[in-house]
Structure 1
């Protein structure tokens, strides 16, 4: 399993060879793009788009143009997520969770799935040379099975894809329900990427996935004083803390799982 460290600091790509995961928007804002030292993957930023607006504000063509600029300026990425539609109840119905206010799409899970598959097909048609991955969306196990069937009907054999994203699971990754979804989809022979996985989720189902990413290090650091010798209030934006956290997370995984990890 390859473990991507999620960050909003785009310049980190030139500071470390550890695999990184960044939103496309963080590169779009840059006048000059940093060149990547190591591997990285690109997130479309779908959660923020739907949480804030209840819809996508960038067109597929704009997103493709963003990806081309990133590919040429930063360097080839492992893969990029499509403009998928998450299926968490708050994303669909709207509401508030802590400081986050959700606009709500007020669409059905089935419609979110239809739009997710249609967007992937459209992006692949516009830029067949870019490694844009299919993503499975749903909420109940039956939803994910239906999403697999949607791809099949569109002529996409997910078992032949190098990476298949698994959406709308990150907030329940360590639960029995989340583990059952990962287990069932992995049994299809899919090389899954787990979006936003944390320590408990990795320990439970990490061995069933091809890759995962996490931003959990930042919230951990925000609750603690800065590292010795650091002048900032906390290390929520600190690469030293992030890399140390990553090392500790990988070391804490079950010993039988660790040989599968890409710790470079």
Structure 2
């Protein structure tokens, strides 16, 4: 097989698929087998609206990084043509995806696995038909394809309505509390540790598909104070949550003492510890939580 690859030299890699079909035919039946959405409140005032994530598989694909886009970005490496060929998402789960490519009258299935924040192409399978044998070509056989993408940041949530919040009271520092909910606190018996407003919100969360991050101000009056989780960024298995606070800046404004964000549970990968760090807008660490296990 290596001899065939060297012989091809700079010819298009699509011919490699045909060469492998003649050199080693393997039945596909023997083989195994989503840009970050930035959420913003639609309110004109700095009031948060908390909505469940879209549960459609194609929406989840977009949040994780679109596997179809990943295949298109590497199309030339595998002998495909972005302008001429047809690309579609066949299936997607927490850890894997399959993209179908229709090219020059043939059908290929491109298998991908999740690698942190992105997708990694693992296999290109040519589907057998009356005129073509089934083929199975690992992506590692294509020398121009890099299996390990560099880590980058993925924005999971962002709300700019709180960008003008400031803490102007230099004589008073409020108490704060931060947490993450993977189960309903009523079922876990931890309601005493979770703010009442957050517990009430948790009743409407599907914890099989989502998890909840929250922050809380403690010991403040009911007039003009506020806390908001304004941004969540994922880098590999690390999450950074930006927290904004405000002291009273105008009379008659009700305090917002609790803030929460719902995220898709598929962002959590417990093969390694998950570290969630809450920071202020300047980057100073307010709290760090480490999650292990499922």
After TM superposition, is the score higher than 0.5? no
Identify which of structures 1 and 2 has the higher relative contact order when contacts are C-alpha pairs closer than 8 Å and 6+ apart.
Answer: 1
When Rg is computed on C-alpha atoms for both structures, the one with the higher figure is 2
- Report which of the two has the higher share of strand: 2
- Report which of the two has the higher share of helix: 1
- With the length of structure 2 as denominator, give the TM-score of the two structures: 0.21
